[in-house]
Structure 1
Amino acid sequence: MRRKKLKKVTSLTNNFSKAERSEALSGGAGTVNKIGKNAFSHHFKNLSFEQRQDFLIGNAFFRKVWIASPSSTTSSDGLGPLYNARACQSCHIKDGRGHLPKEEKPLSAVLKVGNYNNKSLFPNKIYGKQIQFFAIPGLFSESNLNINFIESNFRKNFLKESYLKYPSYKLSNLKYGKLEKNTSLSMRISPQVIGVGLLEAIEDSDILAKQDINDEDNDGVSGLARIVNDEKGNKKIGRFGVRASTPNLFTQTGVAFMHDMGLSNSVGTDAYGDCTKKQSECFKFSTGINKKDLHEVNDEVMNKVVFYLSSLSPPKRRNVSEKDVLLGKKIFYESKCTSCHTPKYVTSKNAKHDFLKYQLIWPYTDLLLHDMGDELADKDINGNITNKEWKTPPLWGLGYAKEVNSRAGFLHDGRAKTILEAVLWHSGAKSSLKYLLDNHKNNLDKLEKIFKIFMKKLFRFTYYFFHILFFKSIPNDEDILAYKNRYEKDVSEILFI
């Protein structure tokens, strides 16, 4: 009986005349109604007094700046020797997403490095799992980074003017040796961390129910739940990371401490972080391990950080009942965007904390891996594709992303500067976008007019583009002019996020 009731509550609506019950409360009953630059940095409003104190302590550790060993402040040393950040907050800017760097050393992104074998990525023998762009005094960092942006050929076949560019990475001043030609480089901007406690509280069965490895329902979308090891070696469903590489927040936090900052913990136990045997200079430096603790970050600190992350609330959605928002929602649903971006769940009654239990949430993700096409694929130095599968990211709070960080990027590598660009990069098998490109090449002039309207007012094209995807037709000049004169809404409202 309970399962039937839950299925009814979480089933997709076909009524777009009004907002659904509790639709504005993205994170359930404890959702906060905050806006502005700190929209992602608030705890759920239904925390107890003791839990609020733990939240503040966890926040302090999340913002803490670590230093190299040895130091008189032994509780804060152990950084590196090679590293990409000195604090969690350095990458997760105001708990939001990062961006591609303008400088030679990324500050809110990491460059993954490795060699693929049988679809599995193995650490590079010289540089480990990621390029470390910083080092403690007395040691060379691994490299500098240069990024060039190249127009997408896929779009050139579609439009006379291309608005989409993809990043190409070149490493200079490699200090520890050259990379093999089959080495894969993949930029990963830091994700926003709101609502992650709720994602951890989704039932395994609800994730597996969406799995469709061989597209048996013939909707053009296949999805795979990734099975990974937790910190104890148990097989679990991956939920975190752009490829669902970790199953829970404790493991994800431990991996980040070790690989991003070079800080050992009970998950990532190497006090030298991502240093490899080929980097012998690394091992001449002191670690932050002392007689009191086995690791540089003990489990007490880890648990406080995990609690902080678990307690971050997605902001309340705006304008869910407005006519244009409901129309955008209708197009989103009927265009089958919900095949991957599952709107809602009810969290488990066995969640770790009371404020996470049995909540109706609206994350817009299935947490599955999907083939996103060649354009978004990882490639090796020779340009050969090494991976095309990415986890569906949650969409809650999307309209606030630029308010929190004006330089925030979208997609796993931050290449998309806007929500629209992120949509246009979707080019997996049988996608609605692919249908549009394959069937409307003779309408380039009209499509360019739509793009020029978009360049003047982003929201106008966003709505209109989804109109094209859904109705599979090109509007005439009169429609374009009428639409241009009618709508004065923000892009986040048109996308109903």
Structure 2
Amino acid sequence: MFHHHRRLLGANALGWLGAILLATGPAQAAPRAGEALSGGATTVFDVTPNAYGRALGNLDPARWTLMLDGKAVFMRDWSAFADVAAGPFSNATGCGACHFKDGRGRPLRELGPEAPLLARLSVPSKDSPSGRHEPVYGGQLHDRAIPGVAAEGVVQVSYSEVKGRYADGTPYTLRQPRYDIARLGYGQLSPEVMLSPRIPAPVFGLGLLEAIPDEAILALADEKDRDRDGISGRPNRVKSARDGAVRVGRYGWKANQPTLEQQVASAFSEDLGLTSALYPERNCTPAQAPCQTPPATRGPSLSEQQLAQTLLYLRLIAPPARRDVEAPMVVKGRALFQKTGCAACHHAEFTTGTVEDIPELSHQRVRPYTDLLLHDMGPELADGRPDGEASGFEWRTPPLWGLGLLETVNRQVRMLHDGRARGFEEAILWHGGEGARSRERFKALDKAEREALVAFLRSL
């Protein structure tokens, strides 16, 4: 049905880049059908450290070379081309430095420098509910700079313990983060600055998320909570940088990007300092001396072709299949996931629409476990920083597919927008606001039930 075995070309055929993209190992046997297929026919069956970086299971072989071309741009070390970069600041040397093996970045220093914790910045504005960029440092703090230029600063995190107990008396400990900005290179931050720490998110399955019709997302919205279930998800409506139209946001921790192209171009701009046709301005402010120096080259530093190649690559990465879907504990955990109310936001299934240029993405029954809507998560997770129509308390429901392979692929487990949670239970226990009822139901479960629910999450 899926013919995924025919897609596993060896390193001799595709070179080292092909080995990274399509490498396999002892893959788990495919379950019969149904729930295991996270991405419908695009699903791949891989439980190795390469599970997040595989081509769509139903990908036309004619696209393999094009996908590898995009992978080359994604993995490129742009620090070797500092003379062509129009922006002096960055947070990484390339896309792959943050999205380790196409997965989640590493937020803590002891886990390595590949994906530093970054901070989005803004200040309140009378003209915009979402505020405006911080006057000196702009919309994002950068801890890297080209040679001869001082970096903007670094984010430092420290933790205090928050202790609690489940209903059965079992103790738990959470970590409450505190964020500070050190080594500021261009003076003090505004006293009104709003700071939002972020870790990178996995990049597989993005083409499928883009293929979900707006109507399917909006059908789940219940801004006034008319059904009185305590869940009132709503879309973030944001402006397209391509044509100025207002669209439903679906990418980013606060759904502040309406299209994958815009998400990618924005990341090139803010994270890597590379301008493009979509974001032609340098990522520094007039208050910073480097912005007074003309760029080394005229025009965008990222070509339209490079942007298109990266975009195609990201559209063609498959979600991994679920594991152990028929195991009794996993089946029990799935029922508890529903019973506690987790599924109210982590919506299990969508069907993608028609995708003319990549028909492999069309009409797939996908299981990302997200509604792509904003939810008020209460003071427990609030960053206090609005983004588009999202308030300082709201976050987009993150997809859960592939979460059970996070430790295998990224060699660490850090969850939530800032990586504070060290595992599934901690992530649940941080839920407040619309998630508080589910959290309390989870806390009321006995140990065996909690373990079953976590087993379900590990199966995703």
The two structures share one fold, judged by TM-score above 0.5: yes
Q: In 2, distance between residues paired with 1:51 and 1:333? A: 39
Task: Find out whether 1:338 has 2:343 as its counterpart.
Answer: yes
- Answer with 185-194 or 422-431: which moved more: 422-431
Q: In 1, distance between residues paired with 2:114 and 2:192? A: 23
Q: How do residues 299-318 of structure 1 correspond to structure 2 at under 5 angstroms?
A: 299-318=304-323
Quote the residue 2:21 is aligned against: none
Task: Find out whether 1:94 has 2:80 as its counterpart.
Answer: no
Task: Find out whether 1:131 has 2:141 as its counterpart.
Answer: yes
Instruction: Tell me the CA shift for residue 323 of structure 1.
Output: 1.2
Quote the residue 2:119 is aligned against: 111
Q: 1:50 aligned to 62, 65, 88, which one?
A: 62
Deviations 1:400-433 (A, max 9, x none): 0111111241111111111111111111147325
- 1:148 is paired with a residue of what secondary structure? strand
- 2:124 is paired with a residue of what secondary structure? strand
> Which letter does structure 1 place at the counterpart of 2:151?
S
Classify 1:494/1:134 alpha carbon distance in 2 versus 1 (closer, same or farther; 3 Å).
Answer: closer
Q: In 1, distance between residues paired with 2:337 and 2:51? A: 25
CA contact (8 A) 1:84 1:133 kept: yes
Task: Find out whether 1:254 has 2:235 as its counterpart.
Answer: no
Deviations 1:231-281 (A, max 9, x none): 2211111010000011111111110111111101011111x2x20010023
Q: 2:400 aligned to 395, 416, 439, which one?
A: 395
- 2:329 is paired with a residue of what secondary structure? helix
Q: In 2, distance between residues paired with 1:429 and 1:30? A: 33
Quote the residue 2:216 is aligned against: 206
Q: In 2, distance between residues paired with 1:494 and 1:193? A: 19
CA contact (8 A) 2:70 2:312 kept: yes
Give 5+ residue unaligned stretches, structure 2. 1-30, 386-390
TM-score normalised by the chain length of structure 2: 0.85
Classify 1:282/1:312 alpha carbon distance in 2 versus 1 (closer, same or farther; 3 Å).
Answer: same
- 1:121 is paired with a residue of what secondary structure? coil
Classify 1:494/1:56 alpha carbon distance in 2 versus 1 (closer, same or farther; 3 Å).
Answer: closer
Quote the residue 2:19 is aligned against: none
Q: In 2, distance between residues paired with 1:221 and 1:20? A: 34
Q: Which has the larger radius of gyration?
A: 1
CA contact (8 A) 1:68 1:79 kept: no
Q: In 2, distance between residues paired with 1:30 and 1:332? A: 25
Deviations 1:47-69 (A, max 9, x none): 22221111110001000011366
> Which letter does structure 1 place at the counterpart of 2:409?
V
Classify 1:123/1:308 alpha carbon distance in 2 versus 1 (closer, same or farther; 3 Å).
Answer: same
Classify 1:350/1:100 alpha carbon distance in 2 versus 1 (closer, same or farther; 3 Å).
Answer: closer
Q: In 2, distance between residues paired with 1:395 and 1:430? A: 15
CA contact (8 A) 2:153 2:184 kept: yes
> Which letter does structure 2 place at the counterpart of 1:378?
D
Task: Find out whether 1:36 has 2:48 as its counterpart.
Answer: yes
- Answer with 315-324 or 276-285: which moved more: 276-285
Q: How many residues align?
A: 421
- 1:141 is paired with a residue of what secondary structure? coil
Q: In 1, distance between residues paired with 2:450 and 2:142? A: 38
> Which letter does structure 1 place at the counterpart of 2:59?
L
Quote the residue 1:417 is aligned against: 422
- Answer with 403-412 or 212-221: which moved more: 403-412
Percentage identity across paired residues of the two chains: 35
Q: 1:176 aligned to 175, 182, 186, which one?
A: 186
Task: Find out whether 1:243 has 2:231 as its counterpart.
Answer: no
> Which letter does structure 2 place at the counterpart of 1:189?
I
> Which letter does structure 1 place at the counterpart of 2:77?
V
Quote the residue 2:175 is aligned against: 165
CA contact (8 A) 1:225 1:367 kept: yes
- 1:210 is paired with a residue of what secondary structure? coil
Q: 1:27 aligned to 35, 39, 58, which one?
A: 39
Classify 1:461/1:126 alpha carbon distance in 2 versus 1 (closer, same or farther; 3 Å).
Answer: farther
Deviations 1:214-240 (A, max 9, x none): 111100111111111122211111010
Instruction: Tell me the CA shift for residue 20 of structure 1.
Output: 9.7
Classify 1:135/1:349 alpha carbon distance in 2 versus 1 (closer, same or farther; 3 Å).
Answer: same
Quote the residue 2:292 is aligned against: 283
CA contact (8 A) 1:314 1:397 kept: yes
